[in-house]
Structure 1
Amino acid sequence: MKPAERAAELREQLAYHGHRYYVLDDPEIGDDQYDALLDELRALEREHPDLVTPDSPTQRVGGEPVSKLTKVTHLQPMLSLANARSEAELRAWVERMRNHLAREGIEAPAFEFVAEPKIDGLAISLLYEGGALVRGATRGNGEVGEDVTHNLRTIGSIPLTIPYQGRVEVRGEVYMSLPDFTALNERRASVGLSTFMNPRNSAAGTIRQLDPNLAAERPLSMWCYAIGVSDLELTSHWQALEWLREHGFRVNGDVKKLATEDEVVQQCLRWQERRGALDFEIDGVVVKVDDFELQRRLGVVGRDPRWAIAWKFPPTTAVTRLLDIKWNVGKFGDLHPFAALEPVHVGGVTVKAATMHNEEDLARKDIRVGDDVIVLRAGDVIPQVISPAPHAVERPGRADPPLPPARCPFCDTPTVKRGVFTRCPNRECPERRWQLLTTFAHVMDIDGLGEKQVALFQRLGLVKSVADFYRLDRDALLALEGFGEVSVNRLLASVEASRARPLSTVLFAVGIEGVGYVTGRGLAQQFRSADALLAATPEQIAETPGIGPVVAELIHSQLEELRPLFEDLRGVLQLEEEGPPPGEGPLAGQTFVLTGTLPDLTREEATQHILRAGGKVTGSVSKKTSYVVAGASPGGSKLEKAERLGVTVVDETELLRLLNSSG
């Protein structure tokens, strides 16, 4: 047999046996036989380098470590999920969906649901084009993640190639099983290395390694649970899961399709009961409406889809001693109590401090210094003190009930009571200023400006206002201990890149109470510029969709104080909304569908151009579609549907002509 033929045969055999081992958990041969096949292929490829293919099993691990993790904008946002913690809350979710659809004209919708375990791992997006894995990215903030393709290629349960030539984005959760986690820690301990605290942290840390060889040494796997952007014509979530199984992806075998909410409740309770018997960690059950058309009609609220919810399991608790109650100052001056605790192990981590929410919650729970308290990790993530232990309340000689400080613990300004919070009214308070600066750096996605760096720059007087980030001096940074040329160049490049963030992001980032991600976007679309917003009355602000009179007054009351900051940022950041107002522009009222690879524009760039020209971009062809923009290797089903419906198909050149047209 010729070397090329034998190499192709070996690749086919290894792909088959790898799928049975990693995906089906049903191997036909032993590890030694698999390793012998792999060694034979490696030897052939060493003798004949021209036989090496990107999808060869020998290429899962290879190449040089990357210098950094680059940012990736998701083709479609990776949404978060609202939570239900009881049967009543889950049934209330179903009722809310019925009410919403009734307002849409859909009476008595026939819901079918899909229930799947909520894996406690790291959410990942895999992009396949032409049958090959071309990119893998972390969820990040839902819109922008990090490219970790080099590490995901090392995971045996992730196929490098699939029998589908179109474009499809697969979503899932990378995790480490409990037995593999235990074995990894034992290996690390045996050679004197530190051990990991829990499987989720070890999986997340592994995926973000720069060297794929380190990732390959750690036993990760992936459950796939959804399809994002694709050229596929799918009508339901269950159909998408079946497609994933048929194309080599690992889908949990216990995912169930359910006909009634009673069945959903019972399935969630069953998962909750068997949680401790699983060989991987889950923190709840995800329930989704199966029908894609109903999902579309239900839509999204903020970043949460109306059509899905997470039934969260009761989190782990522990009892420990409350040593002290201390106070943090938030970016709006609100004082938040937190507990200093005797260290205690809760849900896989050692907890020394925990949130106590606000002073009214603290008083209601009657928690005092010296009490034994019950600590939990809400959602298995954020430690919090939920109450004194029952015996602590009866202990003689308990401390007096705690009170918020009369003076700010950071700037000594007299505090004031506003609503449920005692506040520091001093906007120049160093702790409050630090919170505002770190929030700005995070929202503006300035890489290299974490909490420690902001605190250092603040202490040295390099940064007092967020505008000072754009005045950082390269030589001054290089003179600081721990700041080398590479890190300084990366920081300054990230600061420079943040200048292009849209007005909606700037409004969120500067710290206006009542303005978050969604509200910032609404204000930017309504007023089109910071100057127009600064000149607006409370009544005009209240005309913004989603903003009521109370929030409008709150926003207006802060804008005069923020006027000097906006003046300082003039010419530095985007203080005007790009593109025409909604409903205006050369492409207003026109809907586009993109398919295939365009010669010069990425799909993300083409989408932004269309949106800025007033058009809309959707994922599927319908009677309302104005144009299908087709590039190389387009989805055949989209082109067929466009031809059947009489929708005009254009290429990139024609799209650019439309974008540049005046009407």
Structure 2
Amino acid sequence: MNQKEYLEAVDTLNIWAKAYYTDDIPIASDDEYDALYHKVVKFEKENPSLKVLFSPTNRIGGEILDQFEKLAHKARMWSMEDIFSDTELLAWIERGDKGSQRFFVEPKFDGASLNLTYENGILKSAVTRGDGEIGEDVTNNAKVISSIPLKIPYDGFIEIRGEVVIAKKDFEEINAKRIQDGLNLLANPRNAAAGSLRQLDPSITKSRRLKFYPWGVGANELKFATHSQMMEFVRSLGFLRDDFIRVCNSVDEVKNAYSKLLLLRDEKPIMMDGMVVRIDSLAKCDELGFTVKFPKFMVAYKFPATQKSAKLLDIALQVGRTGVVTPVGILDGVEIDGAFVRNVTLHNFDEIERLGLMKGDMVCVIRSGDVIPKITDVYKSRRDGTQSNIERPTNCPKCGSELLDEGVFIKCQNLSCKARVVSSIIYFASKKCMNIDGLGDAIIELLYENGKISSIIDIYRLDRGSFNGLEGFKDKKIDNILNAINISKTPPLHRFITSLGIEHIGEVAAKKIALTYPNNWLNLNQDELLSLDGFGEAMALSYLEFMRVNYDKIIELMEFVKPKIEDIKFTQNIFSGKTIVITGTLSRPRDEIKKELESFGAKVSSSVSSKSDYLLSGESSGSKYDKAISLGVKIIDEKEYERLINEG
């Protein structure tokens, strides 16, 4: 995958993820998403400086809807890293010295994640995953789910996390009833569970026969040594328990458990898309910590793809934010693992040529987990003469302008193309950029189609009159949108730079620019950009070219938007400006110590090198301790660490 393929993949993933997770109306299958997502993860690991802010890997989760109040989780809800083979399982185990550990494994049910908060034994709230930090308050709906206790025999504060699911049999019966009532069928159990949890009327939620299976805890006051002990306690409080839960003492036992669970795939009453594998020791989990997106102590070992045959009827063309035209296959429709699949991604026209694909072909379609479907094979022997060639497009399907054919990529170069303009506005308003709450994709497209906005700056020219004649916009909704727009007028500088959509300049790069050159960020030269840590020539040239072409537009935009210069002040002490590595088990969570060090202006690294200044070592230190000794890095224990802080 090269950079252009990466950007195309990100655009594709975001389109399908929104349809699947946010809209609860899947327009594709699961395995294609997993496969493409995996390629994006691989590219970003190999090219961290090229990672874009709008990549789905930054995203812990789906967008928060507006129907419910929002509540913060006490402890963040994380996503899991996906693996697809024994080779990847072994690679994960080798990272972080996990080989000598015991592993806890259980089914990965395909539903909607929910966080239950109990205080003094009483259910206080039920909140969806949301973005991992803030979710939707669906407490009233959770209370009608019979498998969620309203009271538990435990008085301490605890967040209990789990999956809300619909049994396959119940799903079929619900759909049979919907046919009798003349209603649209629910797509699959996973989407039905998520949609049922978000119903404004709890009686509808109750009719959907939802179940809640706990799989973890967030903030808590428990003192258990292992995850298996903790979950045994949680399930003893009155929650459902699955009959396939294992503690494995070796990698071979994990593999064996996976093979057994895979054989039960069709027999299980709840749809599952893999097996969760995690370190059982909670102390080891604390030591391993987290990446930006995932816990390092657990993974989802996904099941292999399910494949079916279907007929390719036609090819549709999609235009992404960068102008790349992506072909999408339109099928006659096939059901795979409970999802009715009509569309498949084809990546690019070189892929069509590689497959030798023609309209009217019978094809093999695969799907697994939460992934977009894809065509893996063409049954050419089944051709009957009705097939026709797929021609490379010469004109943009959105604006009609002539396309640039670069071989692998075909691109619309018209900067005024609707598809490109709308995507840029959507990106600008998104949560990771200007965070204009309520100004989502559909509303932006509606405003554009009705001539209310034609560029980013037009967002700030909207008033109450702009919504006249638009269906569904009542006074409260209009007020909320205009208020969110007004709030966005004073963003942190790094968010504003990020929102401009400069190629290669994601959130991390924007922060470095904002912190290093807060007063001169608009007029930087190449040497100044290259002096920033992690900046290469491609990033610098992309930034300079963007500023050259768009300078006047940015100045005009800043008549409405006044970015705030971020003044970060560090507490000076002996660790300021130093590089520290943490290893072993400490008396405090590793993340807490990391944040403390960063508040001193220190850099916390995950690996020991000759550039490391200190190794903070706790109990059961492993290879990092030995490497620090060999490199002559100063090693301190927790008592020495506290002494140095106090002296500072």
TM-score, shorter chain, exceeding 0.5: yes
One-letter code aligned to 1:352: R
Q: CA deviation at 1:520?
A: 0.2
State the secondary structure of the residue aligned to 1:300: coil
Kept in 1, the 8 Å contact 2:360–2:386? The answer is: no
One-letter code aligned to 1:332: T
Q: CA deviation at 1:505?
A: 4.3
State the secondary structure of the residue aligned to 1:461: coil
In the aligned structure 1, how far is the partner of 2:513 from the partner of 2:153? 47
Deviates more, 1:520-529 or 1:475-484: 520-529
| Structure 2 residue 437 is matched with structure 1 residue 438 | no
Distance 1:554 1:237, change over 3 A: farther
1:201-220 pair list within 5 angstroms: 201-220=191-210
Q: CA deviation at 1:310?
A: 1.3
Match of 1:580 among 564, 568, 571: 568
1:505-516 pair list within 5 angstroms: 505-515=495-505
Q: Which residue of 2 aligns with 1:523?
A: 510
1:237-252 pair list within 5 angstroms: 237-252=227-242
| Structure 2 residue 409 is matched with structure 1 residue 421 | yes
In the aligned structure 2, how far is the partner of 1:522 from the partner of 1:131? 46
Q: Which residue of 2 aligns with 1:327?
A: 317
Match of 2:262 among 267, 272, 278: 272
One-letter code aligned to 1:120: D
State the secondary structure of the residue aligned to 2:266: helix
Q: CA deviation at 1:72?
A: 2.8
Kept in 1, the 8 Å contact 2:321–2:421? The answer is: yes
Deviates more, 1:135-144 or 1:172-181: 135-144
1:51-200 pair list within 5 angstroms: 68-95=67-94, 97-98=95-96, 110-200=100-190
One-letter code aligned to 1:300: F
For residues 453-473 of structure 1, the C-alpha deviation after alignment (integer angstroms, 9 at most, x for no partner) is: 222211222112223223211
One-letter code aligned to 1:204: A
In the aligned structure 2, how far is the partner of 1:133 from the partner of 1:611? 36
State the secondary structure of the residue aligned to 1:304: coil
Distance 1:272 1:360, change over 3 A: same
Q: Which residue of 1 aligns with 2:28?
A: none
Deviates more, 1:237-246 or 1:120-129: 237-246
Q: CA deviation at 1:130?
A: 3.2
Kept in 2, the 8 Å contact 1:225–1:251? The answer is: no
In the aligned structure 2, how far is the partner of 1:419 from the partner of 1:574? 42
Deviates more, 1:267-276 or 1:69-78: 69-78
Q: Which residue of 2 aligns with 1:558?
A: 546
Q: CA deviation at 1:427?
A: 2.4
Q: Which residue of 2 aligns with 1:281?
A: 271
In the aligned structure 2, how far is the partner of 1:563 from the partner of 1:612? 34
In the aligned structure 1, how far is the partner of 2:491 from the partner of 2:116? 26
In the aligned structure 2, how far is the partner of 1:155 from the partner of 1:316? 31
Q: CA deviation at 1:69?
A: 0.7
Distance 1:212 1:540, change over 3 A: farther
Identical columns (%): 32
| Structure 2 residue 482 is matched with structure 1 residue 458 | no
In the aligned structure 2, how far is the partner of 1:419 from the partner of 1:531? 42
Q: CA deviation at 1:579?
A: 4.6
In the aligned structure 2, how far is the partner of 1:466 from the partner of 1:449? 12
| Structure 2 residue 395 is matched with structure 1 residue 407 | yes
TM-score, normalised to structure 2, is: 0.72
Runs of 5+ consecutive residues of structure 2 not aligned to the other structure: 1-64, 578-594, 603-615, 618-638, 643-647
In the aligned structure 2, how far is the partner of 1:81 from the partner of 1:508? 26
Kept in 2, the 8 Å contact 1:177–1:279? The answer is: yes
In the aligned structure 1, how far is the partner of 2:565 from the partner of 2:120? 37
Q: CA deviation at 1:435?
A: 1.6
Distance 1:216 1:457, change over 3 A: same
Distance 1:67 1:94, change over 3 A: closer
Q: Which residue of 1 aligns with 2:483?
A: 493
Distance 1:167 1:491, change over 3 A: same
State the secondary structure of the residue aligned to 1:264: helix
For residues 385-430 of structure 1, the C-alpha deviation after alignment (integer angstroms, 9 at most, x for no partner) is: 33323535x6668544643x33323223333356843222232211
In the aligned structure 1, how far is the partner of 2:105 from the partner of 2:278? 7
In the aligned structure 1, how far is the partner of 2:151 from the partner of 2:532? 47
In the aligned structure 1, how far is the partner of 2:527 from the partner of 2:263? 53
In the aligned structure 2, how far is the partner of 1:497 from the partner of 1:153? 35
In the aligned structure 2, how far is the partner of 1:301 from the partner of 1:364? 37
One-letter code aligned to 1:436: S
Q: CA deviation at 1:367?
A: 2.0
Distance 1:544 1:305, change over 3 A: farther
Kept in 2, the 8 Å contact 1:503–1:576? The answer is: yes
Distance 1:508 1:255, change over 3 A: farther
In the aligned structure 2, how far is the partner of 1:130 from the partner of 1:308? 30
